[in-house]
Amino acid sequence: MKFEKYNISAEIKKNLSHLGFKRPTDIQFKSIPSIMKGEDVLAIAQTGTGKTAAFAIPLINKIHTDKSSKRSIGIKCIVMVPTRELALQIGEVFTQLAKHTKVKIFSLHGGVEQDPQIKKLQAGIDILVATPGRMFDLINQGYITLGSIDTLVLDEADHMLDLGFIEDIKYIKKMLTRRHQTLFFSATISKEIKKLAFSQVKSTAIRIQLSPEDPVSKNVSHFVIFVEMDDKRFFLERFITDHPDSKIIVFVRTRVRAERVAKAMGRVRIHSFTIHGEKDQGDRSEVMKKFKDGDCNILIATDVSARGLDIPDVHYVINYDLPAKSENYVHRVGRTGRGFNKGVAISFCSKEEKERLEEIQQFLNKDIEEMKIGKREYDYTINPLKGENKLQALIADNEAFLKKKRRKKANKANKANKKNKLK
């Protein structure tokens, strides 16, 4: 069924059409009707399948339909997210879908001055997308009131709970005095976290789980290459050089590694951006904007950027280092192949990381396909000049062989001519 057939406002349909959304994805098709009915939903679906729009569309439609004017008299919905980047990303999706409607959206996060945020809240908003830290600060200061909340959304719910936000979630639910709807959305969720999540929704909650046997989207082809730790930079250089027009995200283990890899690429005249937790929010936002706008096609990131960020035209993901947590593998590779696009993810695995690889494969319930590299190709990648010398040597050997063969043939012909003359 196309979006134009849905019982949603004409303004939202127009926004969906402008964004190129014609038909709902599986998670949208299964979630939207239940959310529109006001039911609690716990949805687990592969990253890149359109989870944000799955809850944004019905929530925006409900608030828009219920309001008689653009004036906002209290926050109707809170979307809690684990990171600043995700707050900005989800806020952007909501804003795009809410154009020309009566719904006002605001993204709230730490790392920036709170005074401008307070002014925005006081001006009136309908949907608040927020990280827990700054949100609870402003609740305690009295700038955020929860008396009008109808819906609580937990996006990347497993990460929220895994980071220890379960007490914060329980606390805010106790503060919601009105009857409200609770929505849990995530790409991965463990049995332990699932139990905690179920404890926070009604017993009649709709439970949606798509493709649980393979958490990696079918749009992503993913491979592993076995590479020595010290040789990874050469393989990254070659990959980038071989794909000069492609947009690539390179994931590393730590901020120090991010800067080191960026410097290594800089030495071979490959320009890249880095993003990690040590950068202030202004720098991180600027980097993401420039990467999205195509000012630079290479982004080197830590797992701070592995979850939730929707950059639709990323062609490749490179796991320069394997992630410390197995579920982050799914979130990393999900930065490519988003929506209806296809993508490729390649992991560089050293001897030291083979145990990590095994744990990731156990989490996926399948082996990651190996991309095999021959010894000659490996040698050429880490030492192109040496490889060229080998090639020149092969050419020289072949020429010497042909010369020797011609000489033998000429000698044989000369001997034959002498015999004929003697006769």
CA distance 379 to 84: 42
Q: For the chain, what percentages of helix, strand and coil (3-state, to nearest 5) are there?
A: 50, 15, 35
Secondary structure tally for the chain: helices H, strands E: 16, 14
CA distance 101 to 344: 37
Q: For residue 193, what are the CA distances in angstroms to 133, 154, 212, 326?
A: 21, 13, 15, 15
Answer yes or no: is pLDDT of 344 > 50.
yes
Angle between helix 84-97 and 51-66 (nearest 10):
50
SS3 call for 310: coil
Query: Please, are residues 232 and 318 in contact by the beta-carbon 8 Å criterion?
Result: no
CA distance 262 to 273: 7
Please report, as a single letter, which amino acid is at residue 273. F
Count CB atoms within 10 A of the CB of residue 242.
8
**What is the maximum alpha-carbon separation in the chain?**
121
Please report, as a single letter, which amino acid is at residue 343. G
pLDDT at 282: 81
Query: Please, are residues 285 and 310 in contact by the beta-carbon 8 Å criterion?
Result: no
CA distance 319 to 346: 6
Helix H or strand E encompassing 347: strand 343-349
Lookup result for tokens 């720098």: 283
Q: For residue 73, what are the CA distances in angstroms to 63, 95, 280, 297?
A: 12, 19, 33, 43
Q: Tens digit of pLDDT for each residue in 24-54?
A: 988 999 999 999 999 999 888 777 778 899 9
pLDDT at 394: 53
Over pLDDT 90: what percentage of the chain?
Answer: 52
Give mean pLDDT, residues 203-223: 79
Confidence of residue 422 (pLDDT cuts 50, 70, 90): low
Answer yes or no: is pLDDT of 293 > 80.
yes
Answer yes or no: is pLDDT of 242 > 90.
yes
Which residues does residue 41 pair with via DSSP β-bridges, in sequence order? 183, 206
SS3 call for 392: helix
CA distance 409 to 413: 6
pLDDT at 418: 66
pLDDT at 388: 46
Over pLDDT 70: what percentage of the chain?
Answer: 91
